[in-house]
């Protein structure tokens, strides 16, 4: 008899409480109840067991978002198997590297990745089967696999310290690392999100973060735990998301800033009725005060800023709806804040010596909570660097004001050192983001023979608008110290983004900013 509640039990408990409530809602209007979802997940778990999957075995997924994706995650949680959601934007060689590191027993794919899956299957030792979410019949058919199992609850003792997720980092600043996520971490993250995201009973929400990302997974699991529906869309598509936001049904969404910007650029966005929309949770990257103010005016709902190295360190800080309202009432500086430490999180700002820095000074954000990873897969040195005496060092730089609000200063690896002066890109990005015509901005360092590094601003324009580079230079000279003023302004047609909507500064440096001597 299992002595504790597993995260895999959350679906069963919600199905018992609210069997007829929709668990999953699809773009065509179809719905799948909690009772139906629990039955399907049980059958899938039994079928996976028949295919040789046992507790601790790994199950990989390469797919756009769909019902099957969520069902596989839930089945793994019930079995104590380790789900390995892989970035579907990776090329075959990158996927092969990660699959060989993960050593899964099964690989689930959606139809567009079936050819890739078939090619990779014989190249990965121990990978015994391939299942296509979009196929019904045959040895690779997902629905046939589900139908082959029995609707019986798995009885597996999964302990909170057991690893149930293996997530490879996005690699915005380096090669991906395999993050070992325990059941206890996921439980804690779900609880923290439910509290800090101000979730209300009976909601119906959508998360635009892809399911291969911890933000997408945890949001969906939190919805399952709370017993309300999740809107499932294959991927972020602005017109569809806006239609649902105006539908009168959707109570909230999770977006990253680039997605908010894209929605605000849609024709007629100001004319929509968003009266049923209760909140927009945003996170994943820094947002400019200008963009945030426009979103608050346009959508007219509560806004909540969630910040953290979620894959490795969980939720770290939150700027709640009351803080946003306070900003509207006059304390506008809060629009540039990350908020205060999240529920159940102890936070410090430290210098290179690991000691706390005085309030107002920039240092590294370090946190301690139950939502921190177990470590990195087969990387003991990197694990020891990230987790020191129980504190998680994620590389984010920030300062904290006298009230305890945090203000992001960038990434430790993104910091630019020009002539011995430390330059934090977020300061310059904030100045540039409010300029006419500017849609996105990323500030990076370019190697320089004399200064060591110089500042380069990379920008994209709003559709149909142009960016006056000379005016930008004047703006920066007026608002920034001379050593922070960009030496160059590059206007691109689009930014390189990862699937979570984050700008890939590493790619900008590699592809666009080759070393120069002048």
Cβ atoms of 105 and 59 closer than 8 Å: yes
Same domain, 252 and 368: yes
Tokens 């756009």 belong to: 64
Strand partners, 396: 411
Residue 63: CB atoms within 10 Å: 25
How far is C-alpha 253 from the geometric centre of its chain's CA atoms?
Answer: 13
Residue 21 covered by a domain: no
What is the reported pLDDT for 225? 98
Specify the pTM. Answer: 0.84
Same domain, 401 and 433: no
Q: Are strands 452-461 and 438-448 parallel, antiparallel or unpaired?
A: antiparallel
What is the reported pLDDT for 217? 96
Same domain, 370 and 227: yes
Annotate 383-392 with b (16+ C-beta within 10 A) or e (fewer): beebbeeebb
Strand partners, 168: 178
Per-residue tens of pLDDT for the chain, all 518 residues: 566 899 999 999 999 999 999 999 999 999 999 999 999 999 999 999 999 999 999 999 999 999 999 999 999 999 999 999 998 888 888 899 899 999 999 999 999 999 999 999 999 999 999 999 999 998 899 999 999 999 999 999 999 999 999 999 854 344 578 999 999 999 999 999 999 999 999 999 999 999 999 999 999 999 999 999 999 999 999 999 999 999 999 999 999 887 898 899 999 999 889 999 999 999 876 677 888 889 999 999 999 999 998 899 999 999 999 999 999 889 989 988 999 999 999 999 999 899 999 999 999 999 999 999 999 999 999 999 999 999 999 988 899 999 999 998 877 778 887 876 778 788 799 889 889 999 999 999 888 777 778 899 999 999 999 999 999 999 999 988 788 899 999 999 999 887 667 788 888 887 655 544 43
Q: Which of 158, 184, 213 is the last residue of a domain?
A: 158
What does the alpha-carbon distance between residue 192 and residue 189 come to, in Å, rounded to a whole number? 5
Same domain, 125 and 235: no
Q: What is the CATH number of the domain that holds 113?
A: 3.40.50.980
Residue 159's closest CA among 8, 378, 379? Answer: 8
Residue 364's closest CA among 309, 315, 323? Answer: 309
Tokens 């309202």 belong to: 325
Residue 447 covered by a domain: yes
Residue 126 covered by a domain: yes
Residue 194 covered by a domain: no
Q: Which of 383, 411, 439 is the last residue of a domain?
A: 411
Same domain, 154 and 50: yes
Residue 196 covered by a domain: no
What does the alpha-carbon distance between residue 410 and residue 484 come to, in Å, rounded to a whole number? 14
Residue 170 covered by a domain: no
What does the alpha-carbon distance between residue 220 and residue 109 come to, in Å, rounded to a whole number? 19
User: What are the strands, taking DSSP E only, across 401-437?
Assistant: 406-411, 416-418, 421-423
Residue 440 covered by a domain: yes
Same domain, 132 and 215: no
Same domain, 240 and 387: yes
Q: What is the CATH number of the domain that holds 402?
A: 3.40.50.12780
Residue range of the domain that includes 295: 205-411
Same domain, 266 and 389: yes
What does the alpha-carbon distance between residue 222 and residue 209 come to, in Å, rounded to a whole number? 14
In angstroms, the Cα distances linking 109 to 259, 325, 386 are: 25, 43, 32
CA dihedral (274, 278, 282, 288) in degrees, to 10, reads 60
Tokens of 151: 């609707």
Same domain, 352 and 429: no
Q: What is the CATH number of the domain that holds 481?
A: 3.30.300.30
What does the alpha-carbon distance between residue 246 and residue 271 come to, in Å, rounded to a whole number? 10
Tokens of 156: 């597996």
In angstroms, the Cα distances linking 343 to 142, 318, 481 are: 39, 9, 37
Give, as one character, the DSSP assignment of residue 357. P
Number of domains in the chain: 3
Same domain, 338 and 420: no
DSSP string over 126-178: T--EEEETT--SSTTBHHHHHHTS----------TTSEEEEEE---SSSS--E
Same domain, 338 and 211: yes
Q: Are strands 488-491 and 452-461 parallel, antiparallel or unpaired?
A: parallel
Residue 273: CB atoms within 10 Å: 11
Residue 169 covered by a domain: no
Same domain, 210 and 329: yes
Instruction: Give me the phi and psi of 212, to 5 degrees please.
Output: -75, -10
Q: Which of 356, 388, 411 is the last residue of a domain?
A: 411
């Amino acid at each position: 008899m299992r002595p504790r509640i597993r995260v895999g039990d959350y679906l069963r408990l919600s199905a018992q409480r609210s069997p007829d409530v929709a668990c999953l809602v699809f773009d065509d209007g179809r719905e799948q109840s909690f009772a139906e979802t629990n039955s399907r997940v049980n059958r899938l778990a039994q079928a996976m067991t028949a295919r040789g999957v046992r507790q601790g075995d790994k199950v990989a997924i390469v797919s756009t978002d769909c019902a099957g994706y969520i069902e596989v995650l839930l089945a793994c949680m019930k079995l104590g198997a380790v789900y390995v959601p892989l970035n579907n934007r990776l090329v075959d060689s990158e996927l092969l590297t990660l699959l060989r590191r993960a050593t899964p027993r099964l690989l689930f794919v959606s139809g567009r990745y079936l050819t890739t899956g078939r090619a990779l299957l014989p190249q990965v030792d121990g990978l015994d089967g391939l299942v296509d979410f979009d196929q019904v019949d045959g040895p690779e058919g997902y629905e046939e696999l589900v139908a082959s199992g029995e609707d019986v609850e798995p009885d597996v003792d999964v302990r909170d310290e057991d690893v149930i997720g293996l997530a490879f980092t996005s690699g915005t600043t380096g090669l991906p690392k395999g993050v070992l996520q325990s059941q206890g971490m996921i439980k804690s993250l779900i609880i923290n999100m439910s509290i800090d995201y101000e979730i209300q009973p009976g909601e119906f929400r959508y998360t635009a973060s892809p399911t291969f990302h911890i933000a997408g997974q945890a949001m969906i699991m939190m919805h399952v735990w709370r017993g309300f529906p999740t809107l499932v869309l294959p991927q972020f598509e602005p017109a569809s998301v806006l239609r649902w936001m105006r539908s009168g049904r959707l109570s909230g969404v999770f977006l990253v800033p680039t997605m908010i910007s894209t929605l605000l650029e849609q024709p007629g966005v100001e004319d929509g009725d968003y009266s049923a929309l209760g909140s927009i949770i945003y996170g994943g990257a820094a947002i400019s005060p200008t963009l945030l103010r426009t979103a608050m005016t346009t959508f007219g709902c509560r806004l909540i800023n969630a910040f953290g190295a979620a894959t490795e360190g969980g939720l770290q800080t939150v700027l709640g709806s009351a803080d946003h309202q306070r900003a509207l009432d006059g304390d506008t500086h809060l629009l540039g804040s990350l908020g205060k430490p999240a529920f159940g999180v102890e936070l410090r700002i430290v210098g290179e010596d690991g000691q706390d820095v005085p309030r107002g000074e920039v240092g590294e954000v370090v946190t301690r909570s139950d939502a921190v990873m177990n470590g990195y897969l087969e990387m003991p040195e990197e694990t020891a660097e990230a987790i020191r005496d129980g504190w998680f060092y994620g590389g984010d730089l920030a300062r904290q004001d006298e009230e305890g609000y945090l203000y992001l200063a960038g990434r430790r690896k993104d910091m630019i050192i020009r002539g011995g002066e430390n330059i934090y890109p977020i300061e310059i990005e904030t100045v540039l983001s409010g300029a006419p015509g500017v849609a996105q901005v990323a500030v990076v360092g370019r190697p320089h023979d004399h200064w060591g590094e110089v500042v380069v601003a990379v920008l994209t324009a709003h559709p149909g608008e142009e960016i006056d580079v000379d005016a930008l230079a004047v703006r920066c000279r007026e608002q920034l110290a001379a050593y922070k003023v960009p030496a160059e302004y590059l206007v691109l047609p689009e930014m390189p983004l990862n699937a979570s909507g984050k700008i890939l500064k590493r790619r900008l440096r590699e592809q666009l900013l080759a070393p120069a001597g002048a």
